[in-house]
Amino acid sequence: MAYDPLGWMLSTDHVTGPESEHFLGLVQLMSLADRQGAELYVIGGLKVDDRHDVPEVMRWLDDENAFEHFKTVHGTEAQNLRELYHYKGGFFDSLR
């Protein structure tokens, strides 16, 4: 496993989760990235598992207006595969 000290874990309410010191929902992270002008990348595992485990997150990641598939990182075994998505930014600009 890799550890990213600057990374955020998604809250158990994956999309809108309660703000806390360590857990934010995906929408909150997108909004935070917009406000701070920061890049946002989301790392997922096997798409078939993610679609089952976190379908609401996958709906956002599949939205071509919000995210683009950035890269597939293959591991030594299938379960170690990681999918990287890049948030295009500006999704919440029209709401300001």
Looking at the predicted structure, is the pLDDT value of residue 1 above 50?
no
Nearest 5°: phi and psi at 55? Answer: -60, -35
Looking at the predicted structure, is the pLDDT value of residue 20 above 70?
no
What is the structure's pLDDT at 70?
95
Quick: pLDDT tens for 44-76. Answer: 888 888 888 888 888 899 999 999 999 999 988
Model pTM above 0.85: no
- Distance between CA atoms of residues 35 and 93, nearest Å: 9
Mean pLDDT of the chain: 80
What is the structure's pLDDT at 6?
62
Contacts of 82 (CB under 8 A, 6+ apart): 43, 44, 45, 72, 73, 75
